[in-house]
């Protein structure tokens, strides 16, 4: 859906323009997904599962990845929650959010043996139509932790940052 143009001052607001603004504001394009099972990761990055659609009205989730649909380019906000468990205390789990295979956001989670630890990150991404979003993880050393995505939400906020 193309962005509506601004209405002319003093002119009537057409229902089509008003509907586009309503939809972008109250029902933004996007998806919320989760991983289905944990993945035991080694020192080489392994792709984490993304196979549970929490809210996916556009059908963006397929093959452990989210694909931005045609006509969906824009500025997106994301929220990623990852859990690690059974890793060696005093070691860390490395997490990467990837777009088209390239790392666009990474962080570490401190491991605590058999205690489950979760961390979350959020941010903004400029995404193009057909961009593919995946999540990867690896360990820094020690025992191989079990890692899973508790939640990944991606919502379109607009076309660009405006004045």
Q: Tens of pLDDT along 65-114?
A: 999 999 999 999 999 999 999 999 999 999 999 999 999 999 999 999 99
pLDDT score, position 27: 76
Is residue 130 assigned to a domain?
Answer: yes
Residue 53 inside a domain? The answer is yes
Count of domains in the chain?
Answer: 1
Residue 39 falls within a domain, yes or no?
A: yes
The whole-number pLDDT of residue 72 equals 93
- Cα distance between residue 19 and residue 15, in whole Å: 6
Q: State the greatest distance between any 2 C-alpha atoms of the chain, in Å, as a whole number.
A: 67
Place of tokens 């956001």: 105
Q: What is the pTM of this model?
A: 0.88
Round the average pLDDT of the chain to a whole number and report it.
90
3-class secondary structure, 20: helix
Nearest to 51 by CA among 30, 66, 69: 66
Closest CA to 71 of 163, 159, 161: 159
In a domain, 108, yes or no: yes
């Amino acid at each position: 859906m193309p962005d509506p143009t601004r209405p002319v001052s003093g002119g009537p607001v057409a229902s089509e323009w008003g509907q586009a603004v309503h939809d972008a504001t109250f029902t933004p394009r996007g998806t919320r997904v989760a991983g289905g099972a944990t993945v035991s990761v080694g020192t080489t990055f392994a792709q984490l599962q993304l196979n549970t659609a929490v809210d996916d009205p556009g059908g963006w989730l397929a093959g452990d990845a989210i694909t931005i649909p045609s006509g969906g380019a824009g500025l997106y906000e994301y929220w990623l929650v990852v859990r690690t468990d059974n890793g060696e205390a005093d070691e860390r789990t490395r997490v990467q959010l990837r777009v088209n295979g390239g790392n666009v956001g990474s962080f570490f989670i401190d491991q605590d043996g058999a205690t489950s630890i979760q961390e979350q990150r959020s941010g903004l991404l400029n995404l193009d139509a057909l961009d593919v979003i995946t999540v990867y993880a690896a360990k820094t050393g020690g025992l191989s932790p079990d890692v899973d995505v508790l939640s990944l939400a991606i919502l379109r906020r607009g076309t660009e940052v405006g004045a």
